Amino acid sequence: MKDVLVVGGGIAGIQAALDLAEMGIRVHLVEKSPTIGGRMAQLDKTFPTNDCATCILSPKMVDCARHPNVTIYTLSEVQSVTQEEDDFGFEVQVFKKARYVDELACTACGDCAKVCPIVKRDEFQMGLSTRRAIYIPFPQAVPQAYLRDREDCLGGDPIACGRCIEACTKGCIDFDMQDEVVELSVGAIVLAVGMETFDPVALTEYGYTRYENVITGLEFERLICASGPSGGRLIRLTDREEPQAIGFIQCVGSRNLKYQRFCSSVCCMHATKEAILAREHIPDVKSYIFYTDLRASGKGFREYVDRARREYGVEYIRSRVAQIEEDGDGRLVFHYEDAETSRPQQMKVDLAVLATSLVPGPGVAGLAEILGLELDEYGFFRTNPFSPTDTTREGVFTCGCCRGPSDIPQSVAQASGAAARAAQYVVEAGGM
């Protein structure tokens, strides 16, 4: 039986890899970032149960790393895929970037980062805090090892700094480590490369980056998370005071003829969860959700929204915010139209949270070109309507947000489905 390649190490890729590994199939899990975990690792809690996201994700990450049938390649991307001569299986070349730290020997003690003089924007914290040029993405990262950002580091040949090398008593750091190409032979491929979020800078009416207290949903997640830049305190970025009124704006970039025409599916429930968590952090905060149409079609979702209204005082306003301005006191003024009277209205809030559209990541188009796959009209992988994990190429399957916006339970269910189809394919095509 041939191996299976899983591309993408988010929750969907992890679930697919674990399912296949438990069936006795060897799995190669390729992830372009320094750690597996994906976007779920950045969330504070998940809806509708409000369980800790990391508490759910971390055990799966560890299981994946420890499973004897799973090999993880981080900082890696698929470079080329060719069909094998017998038309069953694929020859895959994976480009693996150098980490400059021996991930097996590293104990994640952090001594190297303490002496690093370079301060950079922390991508995991959505730019709300900083990291060093040698760093670990987050405490639960897998592999549990530091890495050196070559572009930011002062080291090189000749070495201009080298403080981290001196600080590492175990000798884990190697500036001479080279990029490499790994060649794999697999019988099937599962694509789980996830999604990106729409950059709202283009929507100038919302003042994102112009007004510090206009943030995105993912930035809000990092603010309320105990491991976030504010230690779990929900604050305004301008004065670090607690907001008393928060406005959530839905469909930012979604259902828009100029940007994304589709509904991003999960945003209504995401904002509802965040409004509930805001009240748990600040008991007297008032939350307003400005929406176009309320999408609460999942199991228990309607009850979740009703609970938000009843127990947490969340107010839903059916209206699109036309513009955000900042007044002399630093508060944000929402300009919108009353849905019943069609008259212009204003509301002042302390913090604005934008529910940005979920869009296909650059990895989707790149893999589609490498694998010869078709994309749908929105740029996601096109799938078979009667077998929704099958792509337009035999032996290649997909799951999660790269086939369309999905929440975590949907992504996990799709991952298990894609794993089952990949297992079936390698068994049947291999003549087992």
Digit-coded pLDDT (tens) for 214-228: 999 999 999 999 999
In this prediction, residue 362 has a pLDDT band, given cuts at 50, 70 and 90, of confident
| pLDDT per position as a tens digit, 171-197 | 999 999 999 999 999 999 999 999 999
Single-letter code of the amino acid located at 328: G
Residue 206 has what DSSP assignment? G
Q: What is the pLDDT of residue 1?
A: 66
Taking only Cα atoms into account, the Rg of the chain, rounded to an integer number of angstroms, comes to: 23
71-116 residue pLDDT tens:
999 999 999 999 876 668 999 999 999 999 999 999 999 999 999 9
The predicted structure's pLDDT at residue 381: 97
pLDDT at 431 over 60: no
CA 347 to CA 365: how far, in whole Å?
Answer: 41
The closest of 31, 202, 54 to 140, measured between CA atoms, is: 54
User: Is residue 37 very low, low, confident or very high in pLDDT (cuts 50, 70, 90)?
Assistant: very high
| DSSP per-residue letters across 132-193 | ESEE-SSTT-SS---EE-TTT-S-SSS-S--HHHHH-TT--B-TT---EEEEEEEEEEEE--
| pLDDT-above-70 percentage for the chain | 98
pLDDT at residue 297 in the model: 79
Average pLDDT, rounded, for the chain: 94
**Residue 108 Cα distances to 65, 138, 384, angstroms:** 16, 11, 44
Reply yes or no on whether the pLDDT at 54 is more than 80: yes
pLDDT tens figures, 131-164: 999 999 999 999 999 999 999 999 877 788 999 9
Report the pLDDT value the prediction gives residue 330, as an integer from 0 to 100: 87
Q: CB–CB of 258/363 below 8 Å? A: no
